[in-house]
Every structure is written in C-alpha cells, then in structure tokens.
C-alpha cells in the first residue's frame, strides 16, 4: 500500500490500528507484526511519518536502539524502512477524530474522506504537546512573538524562517536548550535562558553543549513575570523567585527582546484517551497502563509520550514495542496476562509507568525523581529489590528491569518504588 493511499486501499477491519506515527507508533507497528498481526494500520495527521523527530535535526538519537548517534530524521527513517518492509498500511495526512470503546476508529483525510475502520486492538501513540503561556499564566500584554520552543524549532528546521531576532527563553527543558543553540547558530541573539527551578530541567549534556559552549547565560530560580509589547514583544520583566517559587518583584529587571520562547514542559496529548473514558493518571497526565501498556479499556493500548514524557526516543521505541506486541497478540487471540501487582510512586519518585505489572512477566519500569540526588542512589522496589545508580536528576528518566525471578517470592499486591540517597539507606 502506498503511503497516503485512497479509500480503496484501506481495509474495513484491522487487527491493530495505531494512532500516531512517531517513534512510538512505528515501533508499535513492528511489535504487532512480529506477534503475527496480519493487518496493521498506522495513521498520522502529518504528511510524513516520524512525529516530533522530523524537526529534531540534531544528533543524539539511537545510542540505545542502534548503538550509534544519529539525527531525529535518520532515526525515524530507519524505523519507517522496517515498517514499510513489514507491509504495515501507513496512512498520513489523516487525523483520527475519535475512537470508541468498541474500537471503531473515525478518521479524516483528503484522499479518504471522513471514514471509519474497525480495529481488534488500538494503540494510542499521539505524543505530547507543549505547555503554553496560558498554562503558567504570565501576565501582561498579548503581543505576537510569544511561542513554544517546539514551534520555533519547526519554523527554523522545517520551514526555513526565524522566530525573531532577539530571544529570551523561559524554561530549561531540552527543547529550549536545543533551540538556544540553534538560534544562536542562525544569528539570533539569545539573551538568556531563565529557569524557575534551582536546577536545569533538561539533560546535562544539553546544558553544556547548547548553553555553556556558546556563552548563553542560564538564570536559575528566575522567571518571567510580565510580557510587554502592543504588537510584537518588546521586552519581558524577569524576577528571581523565593524558596516557594514566588517571584520577588523588588529584584525584578527588564530584558529587551522581540521573542519569548517557552520551554516549560510537555503534557501527554491524551484527549482521545480521555474522551474514550480511559482512566488517566494525574501524575503523568497520560492514561493508566498495565505491564503490556494496555489502558483501562480492554484492547486499547498506549505508548510513548502520550503515556508519560520520555527523555529519549530510544525508550519510547522500546516501550512501544511492548505495546505493539501485546496489541498484536491480543488481536490474534492470545490470552491477556494477569496484571496482579500495582506500582505506586514512593520516596522521591514522581510517577511510575506502568501502573500495574504481572508477577510472571518481565518489565521495564520507567519513572522520574522529584529531586536530584548528586551521588550514589538506591532505587528500591518494595522490600524485594534494590539497584544502585550513580546519581539521579528529574531531567533524566530512570529505568529499572523487573523479572519473574525478582517477583518470585512476593505475595502482596502493591509495590512502592523509592529513590533514596545511598547514605540515607545505610543509616
């Protein structure tokens, strides 16, 4: 089937329909095919599959998946090649408007029209969206020139335009850091990066490579408290914050700029999951999932940034492979493994995915810490398992492998996940 076919090429019924063809969707498609699902449909609203990776033209992808660093588009390209080899139907320029609990997928696409297909199982892989000015309520004027860092990235990397000439970046998430460098290299004056928290939100390697190497100042514990400009941004007022993250207006100062980029976090794009009635986890903003990445609605799976915001695409691919395999297996008649143990975030853990696991399964738990621990840290799974790591920071997702061997003796039904400084555990 050609990419973006017309209606004739579409089946009326699929084993697995996957919503979103980013790294999560593509890996899920491969997983489903591996488990014998015959008819797999991968849908994306953009004209090219690849998701957010297509605008990430920097390298830094694939170290885990391929053992070498490649750019975002290269990473996506490698997966797409396999997807096409595996005879997955790929429908792009197609938006999934609705999925019902009995897994009718309603979509719209210029070549297909408004159309429904039935699916034995569905994998939600819609990714995440960026938080906006409204999410953090910056007071002041409402001029043009306030935009998310991801939008600026799209402008520069895909469309060939600049977002402005003198930029302030609020938030030190990875996208903001990467855009600071990109813009600086494009000749845009990057006045500084301002971060509310006392530590950067992005990966350390990005702080070093994107800011330090280019002498772009990073102001920690500082935020933008007002935007000025009638038509276009003219300046912003920034202020340090106190221990409770409240701005201290007496210490505020103004920064001239014509652009304010916001890199203030991503939120799972889980609207479809919500309208379907899947249970959502307020800690992640994404659906609650089992060890096979199945949501609380039977036959509806989810993977990637729609479940929780990942730091690396490689983790997304791995997690989505699990979802795809399970969706494929279920569609072809396999039994659903019992998910008998519930995981809950404990000491210094912000969330844990998946939310339940099977005591006879092998799982990779993903979680983030609340506070950095700059030294040996013990990751603890209830009383049954411990692993020591060098350090943990909120910016980097932590993973932990769990096997049936570890779970063997455990008779309870809830396990807590903690991340504690090694010295405290010793005490």
Partner 1 sequence: MSAGEHASRAGHVHDVVVIGGGVVGVTLARALSRYHLDVVLLERDEEVGFGVSKANSGIIHSGIHADPNTVKGALEWPGNVAWMTLRDELGFGLAQVGELLVALSEDELVSIERLHAQGQAKGVPGLERWDQQRVRRHQPNLSREVIAALWAPTAAVINPYEAVMLIAESAAHNGVEVATAEPVVAIDPPDPDGPIVLHTPARTLAAHYVVNAAGLYADEVAGMAGVGTFSITGRKGEEYLLDKRLAGLVTSIIFPCPTATSKGTLVTPTFDGTIMVGPTAEATDDKRDTATTPEGAKEVFAAARRLVPGIDERDVIAEFAGVRAVADTDDFVLGPTARRGFINAAGIQSPGLTAAPAIADHLVEVLREEGLQLTERDEFEPRVEYPVRFAVLPMEEQAALAERDPRFARLACRCELVTEAELVDAVDRGARTLDGIKFRTRAGMGRCQGAFCTWRCITLLADRRGVPIPRITKRGGDSWIVCDRDDADAAPPRPPVPATSPPAPAAVEVAGSPGAGS
Ligand X SMILES: Cc1cc2nc3c(=O)[nH]c(=O)nc-3n(C[C@H](O)[C@H](O)[C@H](O)COP(=O)(O)OP(=O)(O)OC[C@H]3O[C@@H](n4cnc5c(N)ncnc54)[C@H](O)[C@@H]3O)c2cc1C
Give the one residue of 8, 230, 335, 411 binding partner 1; rule: CB under 8 A: 230
What one-character-per-residue DSSP string does 213-261 give?
Answer: GGT--EETTEEEEEEE-SSB--EEEEEEB-TTS-B-GGG-EEEE-SEEE
How many CB atoms sit inside 10 A of residue 158's CB? 12
* Residues in Cβ contact with 266 at an 8 Å cutoff, skipping those fewer than 6 apart: 128, 129, 130, 131, 173, 305, 309
- 8 Å CB contact between 393 and 204: yes
Q: Distance (Å, rounded) from C-alpha 255 to C-alpha 258? A: 10
| Site for ligand X contains 163 (CB under 6 A) | no
Residue 369, binding choice from ligand X, partner 1, none, Cβ under 5 to 8 Å by partner class: partner 1
Nearer to partner 1 by Cβ, of 330 and 365: the residue is 365
How many CB atoms sit inside 10 A of residue 397's CB? 17
- Cβ burial, residue 33 (10 Å; 0-12/13-18/19+): buried
What long-range pairs does 215-219 form, CB within 8 A, spacing at least 24? 216/180, 216/181, 216/184, 216/190, 216/192, 217/192, 217/193, 218/172, 218/192, 218/193, 219/192, 219/193, 219/194, 219/195
| Site for ligand X contains 174 (CB under 6 A) | yes
Q: Distance (Å, rounded) from C-alpha 392 to C-alpha 377? A: 7
Interface stretch with partner 1, choices 184-192, 291-299, 356-364, 381-389 (CB under 8 A): 184-192
Nearer to partner 1 by Cβ, of 30 and 190: the residue is 190
Give the one residue of 256, 360, 413, 424 binding partner 1; rule: CB under 8 A: 256
Site for partner 1 in 373-402 (CB under 8 A): 394
| Cis peptide bond prior to 354, omega within 30° of 0 | yes
Nearer to ligand X by Cβ, of 238 and 293: the residue is 293
Residue closest to ligand X, measured at CB:
22
Interface stretch with ligand X, choices 50-58, 155-163, 219-227, 288-296 (CB under 6 A): 50-58
Residue 127, binding choice from partner 1, ligand X, none, Cβ under 5 to 8 Å by partner class: ligand X
| Site for partner 1 contains 150 (CB under 8 A) | yes
| Site for ligand X contains 314 (CB under 6 A) | yes
Q: How far is the CB of 5 from ligand X (least distance, A)?
A: 16
Q: How far is the CB of 164 from ligand X (least distance, A)?
A: 18
Instruction: Tell me if residue 385 falls in helix, strand or coil.
Output: strand
Q: How far is the CB of 306 from partner 1 (least distance, A)?
A: 14
In the numeric block, which tokens belong to residue 419? 């991340």
**Residue with the two structure tokens 């492998």:** 401
Site for ligand X in 244-303 (CB under 6 A): 269, 272
* Residues in Cβ contact with 358 at an 8 Å cutoff, skipping those fewer than 6 apart: 290, 291, 292, 337, 338, 339, 340, 341
Nearer to partner 1 by Cβ, of 241 and 320: the residue is 241
Interface stretch with partner 1, choices 29-37, 69-77, 170-178, 322-330 (CB under 8 A): 170-178
Give the one residue of 26, 188, 207, 312 binding partner 1; rule: CB under 8 A: 188
Interface stretch with partner 1, choices 17-25, 208-216, 226-234, 335-343 (CB under 8 A): 226-234
| Site for partner 1 contains 2 (CB under 8 A) | no
* Residues in Cβ contact with 406 at an 8 Å cutoff, skipping those fewer than 6 apart: 381, 384, 385
Residue 358, binding choice from partner 1, ligand X, none, Cβ under 5 to 8 Å by partner class: none
Nearer to partner 1 by Cβ, of 263 and 290: the residue is 263
Q: Distance (Å, rounded) from C-alpha 149 to C-alpha 261? A: 5
Site string for partner 1, 275-314 (x = CB under 8 A): ---------xx-----------------------x-----
In the numeric block, which tokens belong to residue 92? 């792009």
- 8 Å CB contact between 300 and 103: yes
Site for partner 1 in 54-93 (CB under 8 A): 93
Total of chain residues touching ligand X, rule CB under 6 A: 37
Residues of this chain that bind ligand X (CB under 6 A): 19-25, 43-46, 51-53, 56, 60-61, 95-96, 125-127, 150, 153, 174-175, 178, 269, 272, 304-306, 310, 312-314, 316
């Amino acid at each position: 089937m050609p990419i973006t076919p017309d209606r004739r090429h579409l089946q009326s019924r699929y084993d697995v329909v996957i919503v979103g063809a980013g790294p999560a969707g593509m890996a899920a498609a491969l997983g489903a095919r591996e488990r014998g699902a015959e008819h797999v449909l991968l849908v994306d609203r953009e004209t090219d599959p690849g998701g957010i990776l297509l605008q990430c033209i920097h390298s830094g992808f694939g170290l885990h998946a391929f053992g070498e660093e490649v750019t975002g588009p290269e990473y996506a390209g490698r997966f797409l090649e396999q997807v096409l080899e595996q005879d997955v139907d790929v429908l792009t320029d197609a938006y999934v408007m609705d999925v019902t609990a009995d897994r009718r997928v309603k979509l719209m696409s210029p070549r297909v029209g408004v159309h429904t297909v039935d699916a034995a199982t569905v994998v939600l892989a819609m990714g995440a969206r960026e938080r906006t000015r409204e999410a953090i309520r910056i007071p002041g004027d409402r001029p043009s020139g306030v935009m998310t860092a991801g939008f600026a990235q799209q402008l520069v990397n895909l469309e060939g335009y600049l977002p402005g000439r003198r930029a302030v970046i609020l938030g030190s998430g990875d996208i903001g850091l990467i855009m600071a460098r990109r813009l600086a290299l494009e000749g845009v004056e990057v006045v500084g990066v301002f971060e509310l928290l006392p530590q950067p939100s992005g990966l350390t390697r990005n702080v070093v490579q994107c800011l330090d190497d280019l002498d772009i100042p990073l102001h920690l514990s500082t935020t933008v408290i007002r935007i000025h400009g009638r038509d276009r941004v003219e300046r912003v007022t920034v202020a340090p914050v106190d221990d409770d993250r409240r701005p201290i207006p007496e210490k505020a100062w103004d920064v001239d700029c014509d652009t304010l980029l916001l890199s203030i976090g991503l939120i799972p794009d889980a609207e479809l999951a919500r309208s379907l009635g899947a249970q959502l986890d307020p800690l992640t903003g994404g659906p609650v999932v089992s060890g096979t990445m199945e949501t609380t609605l039977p036959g509806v799976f989810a993977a990637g940034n729609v479940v929780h915001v990942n730091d690396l695409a490689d983790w997304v691919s791995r997690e989505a492979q699990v979802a795809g395999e399970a969706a494929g297996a279920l569609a072809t008649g396999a039994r659903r493994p019992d998910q008998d143990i519930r995981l809950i975030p404990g000491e210094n853990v912000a969330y844990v995915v998946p939310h339940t696991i099977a005591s006879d399964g092998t799982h990779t738990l993903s979680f983030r810490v609340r506070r950095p621990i700059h030294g040996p840290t013990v990751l603890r799974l209830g009383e049954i398992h411990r692993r020591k790591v060098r350090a943990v920071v909120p910016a980097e997702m932590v993973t932990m492998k769990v096997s049936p061997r570890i779970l063997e003796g455990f008779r309870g039904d809830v396990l807590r996940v903690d991340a504690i400084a090694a010295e405290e555990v010793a005490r």
